[in-house]
Amino acid sequence: MDVNIPKIPIGEGVERGIEFLDSNFSFITKAMSKGIEAAIDVIIAGMTFVPPVLFILIVTALSWYLTRKKGVAVLSFVGLFLILNLGLWYPTLDTLALVLIATLFSMIIGLPLGIFAALNQTSYKITMPVLDFMQTMPAFVYLIPAIPFFGLGKVAAIFSTVIFSVPPVIRLTCLGIRQVPSELVEAADAFGSNPRQKLFKLQLPMATPTIMAGINQTVMLALSMVVIAAMIGAKGLGGEVWKAIQRLQSGAGFEAGLGIVIIAILLDRILQQVGRQRHEEVSKDH
Amino acid sequence: MSKIQIKEVYKIFGPDPKKAVQLLKDGMTKDELLNKTKHAVGVGGVTFDVKEGEILVIMGLSGSGKSTLVRCLNRLIEPSAGQINIDGVDIGSLNEAELRKLRQKKFGMVFQHFALFPHRTIAENAEYGLEIKGMDPQERRKIAIDVLAQVGLQGHEDSYPSQMSGGMQQRVGLARALALDPDILLMDEAFSALDPLIRSDMQDELIDLQDKVKKTIVFISHDLDEALKLGDRIVLMKDGKVVQIGTPEDILMNPATRYVEKFVEDVNLTKILTARHVMNKVKATGHIRNDGPMSALRKMRNNNFSKLFITRQDNTLVGMITAEKASEAQKRGDKDLTKIIEEDIITVTPDAPASELFEILHNLPYPLGVIDENKKLKGVIIRGTLLAALAEGGS
């Protein structure tokens, strides 16, 4: 049976929409892209300016200060030294800078959206399906529209990374605020708190551990996306992996992959500890 | 003067509360309303006043609408119909900002499960209301430390709620409410989550505290013993409606309906109990031969009495002296008590039925002595112990 139903032009619609945006607005985004790229380069230059050994010591001290765990500090020291030894120092700094900048943007965008979704039922109902959509759409797809707007390079990488990694911050900020027991919210109301006081004195402090878990997830997602974004010229460790794939050098690919693993474990352990400490302050012997 | 006036207040849960209120006014019952229109009645037309400075206990089983009603008083729950006046101001007419001001100024609330903020220290919890008001940190910390001392929690300022027992947590809850120095305390099953011994202590302390602070207290309870012990008046609710309003004596002696009767059945032993069952031991008496004004005064001071029974060696009652008279006598330099003894005091025999005791105790300015046929002093009854004894006799 051959029923001839014409294809619904979803793809064509999206393409036309993006083309329209591209031809009318891309001069703005391209200009922004130049500015942001320059800023990123300054940050990376700043990081490379620090001698690697000093950098390693600073990170080790910082991880000890934040987590108070010997294991994490040792891991920082050994892990980063291994990276230095493998000759992956500068790609690692690139990756680290991209991840941190993308996370920063994700937080700037995600925290307010999460708060708004938690406090406003309509916004909640719109936000949640959009987040589901964003998280199930394959990450590669976000790379394509980034190019016409921002050109190949770091800014396009950050743009697609932010889109990919922002959902956990929004979701868990929202969840954390909604999880505050209604009796406590009622108590805050009974003492005449206005919505702002309620948010800053009760809801956000109580939601902090959950929000930290969201930020942790965001960092991990950002890291994985920054690697994928090597395909559109983000360089860094992902770039090394990408190079190794194209040249079929499994050894080099493994080394670069190892570098990513080290960075991921480091970021995860440090952030987890920070979140947990906050949590323990809140509920000491629970 | 009435501090709070509650006039025909309804709270209906459902899609069209206004219509449901009308149906109720037209005589539909709660169950019919639920089955036919899917509206649940929280509060179904309640009218009463709360007087300045009294403890009013709103009592009822779960689902009777008592917690909903108390939340209507500060509009944590918006009533569907009716009017609530606080100091003559209709609170339904206030906008959001005015309502917040009212809550900050007039209301302190204490919750069943304490509702302390777990991320704040005890002192930070206690000063929450003041912080909301915008008081500066040093001033509010001072007040917080004061009220915490008032509820017996000095030295715990920097602990966290999770480090404290239930009883201590609820003291913090009370301190948080008192810190604002509100006119009205709303206590929603405040002691229900505590174990019985601690609950009883907290009740005693609340009564003591009330003697000092003289707030208007609306206390929600499902426990008749608690209601009898604390309440100057009791409002008994069932199915969102008021069944009876009255003093503990009224409720016990003249139950308005079968429902109240059943409720107080266990407690209502007034007819079989006699003075013998409800009297307390006399902790101290003055001896007419041995005691002079000075030693009598010391006995009163040690026991926190303002009056003292005077007996002979064989424990027969002579009369009573007051602390005032005794200290006058001491100043005069009297050696014995004969001049200041009040011999003409009202007493009862151990067989006097408890139901008559209420009337005798009403307005009696001194404790009621219980003496047997040989005039020997057997015990003493005061209003509080009578109610407590009745309540305990029931459980």
Q: pLDDT, tens digit, for every residue of A149-189?
A: 888 888 888 888 999 999 999 999 999 999 999 999 999 99
**Which CATH class name applies to B275-394?**
alpha beta
CA dihedral A89, A93, A94, A100 (to 10 degrees): 160
Q: B119, A189: Cβ pair inside 8 Å? A: no
Least confident interval from A116-120, A139-143, A158-162, A175-179: A139-143
Using DSSP's 3-state secondary structure scheme, residue A181 falls into: coil
What tens-digit pLDDT sequence spans chain B (395 residues)?
688 999 989 998 888 888 888 888 888 888 888 888 888 888 988 999 999 989 999 998 888 889 999 999 999 999 999 899 999 889 989 999 999 999 999 999 999 999 999 999 999 999 999 999 989 999 999 999 989 988 888 888 889 999 988 888 999 999 999 999 999 999 999 898 888 888 888 888 888 888 888 899 999 998 888 888 888 999 999 888 898 999 887 887 788 888 888 777 766 555 557 777 778 888 888 888 888 888 888 888 888 888 888 888 888 888 888 888 888 888 888 888 888 888 888 888 888 877 778 778 877 888 888 888 888 888 888 877 777 777 665 44
- Residue B1: CB atoms within 10 A of its CB come to 8
pLDDT at A285 (0 to 100): 39
Q: Are B267 and B88 in contact (CB under 8 A)?
A: no
Rounded to 5 degrees, φ, ψ at A54 are -60, -45
Token pair listed for A259 = 């570098």
DSSP output for A29-80? HHHHHHHHHHHHHHHHHHHHHS-HHHHHHHHHHHHHHHH--HHHHHHHHHHH
pLDDT at B161 (0 to 100): 92
Interface of A with B (CB under 8 A): 181, 183-184, 186-194, 197, 201-202, 205-206, 281-286
In this prediction, residues A247-253 reach a mean pLDDT of: 90
**Which CATH class name applies to B52-265?**
alpha beta
Query: Angle at the Cα of A107 (from A105 to A109), degrees rounded to 5?
Result: 70
Q: Are B248 and B383 in contact (CB under 8 A)?
A: no
Our CA-based measurement puts residue A14 at a distance from the nearest CA of chain B, in whole angstroms, of 42
- Nearest-by-CA chain A residue for B132: A193
ipTM of the complex: 0.76
What distance in Å separates the CA atoms of residue B379 and residue B309, rounded to the nearest whole number? Answer: 10
Give the Å distances, CA to CA, from B108 to A6, A12, B128, B179, B222.
Answer: 68, 62, 11, 8, 21
DSSP B164: S
**CB-based contacts of A285, cutoff 8 Å, min separation 6:** B162, B163
Cα A208 to the chain's mean position, in Å? 17
Q: Which of residues 267-286 of B touch A (CB under 8 A)?
A: none
Q: How far apart are the first and last CA of chain B?
A: 36
Mutation site for A-interface testing, chosen from B119, B169, B178, B185 by largest number of A Cβ within 10 Å: B119
Cβ–Cβ contact B129 with A under 8 A:
yes
Cβ–Cβ contact B214 with A under 8 A:
no
Radius of gyration of chain B (CA): 25
Question: In chain B, which residues have their Cβ closer than 8 Å to the Cβ of A187?
Answer: 109, 111, 115, 117
Mutation site for A-interface testing, chosen from B110, B116, B132, B163 by largest number of A Cβ within 10 Å: B132
Q: B103, A202: Cβ pair inside 8 Å? A: no
Residue A283 reports pLDDT greater than 80: no
Q: Which of residues 88-127 of B touch A (CB under 8 A)?
A: 97, 99-104, 107, 109, 111, 113, 115, 117-119
Cβ–Cβ contact B193 with A under 8 A:
no
Q: Which domains does chain A have, with CATH numbers?
A: 10-49+86-282 (1.10.3720.10)
User: How sure is the predictor about A110, in pLDDT bands with cuts at 50, 70 and 90?
Assistant: very high
Mutation site for B-interface testing, chosen from A191, A212, A286 by largest number of B Cβ within 10 Å: A191
**CB-based contacts of A175, cutoff 8 Å, min separation 6:** A118, A207, A210
What distance in Å separates the CA atoms of residue B168 and residue B172, rounded to the nearest whole number? Answer: 6
User: How sure is the predictor about A286, in pLDDT bands with cuts at 50, 70 and 90?
Assistant: very low
pLDDT at A177 (0 to 100): 95
- Nearest-by-CA chain B residue for A208: B119
Handedness of CA B70, B73, B78, B84 (dihedral sign): positive
Closest residue to B129, CB basis, from A191, A281, A285: A191
Q: A190, B107: Cβ pair inside 8 Å? A: yes
What distance in Å separates the CA atoms of residue B103 and residue B20, rounded to the nearest whole number? Answer: 29
Q: B100, A194: Cβ pair inside 8 Å? A: yes
Cβ–Cβ contact B165 with A under 8 A:
no
Q: Are B329 and B307 in contact (CB under 8 A)?
A: no
- The residues spanned by each domain of chain B are 52-265, 275-394
DSSP output for A80-122? HHHHHHTT-HHHHHHHHHHHHHHHHHHHHHHHHHHHHHHH-HH
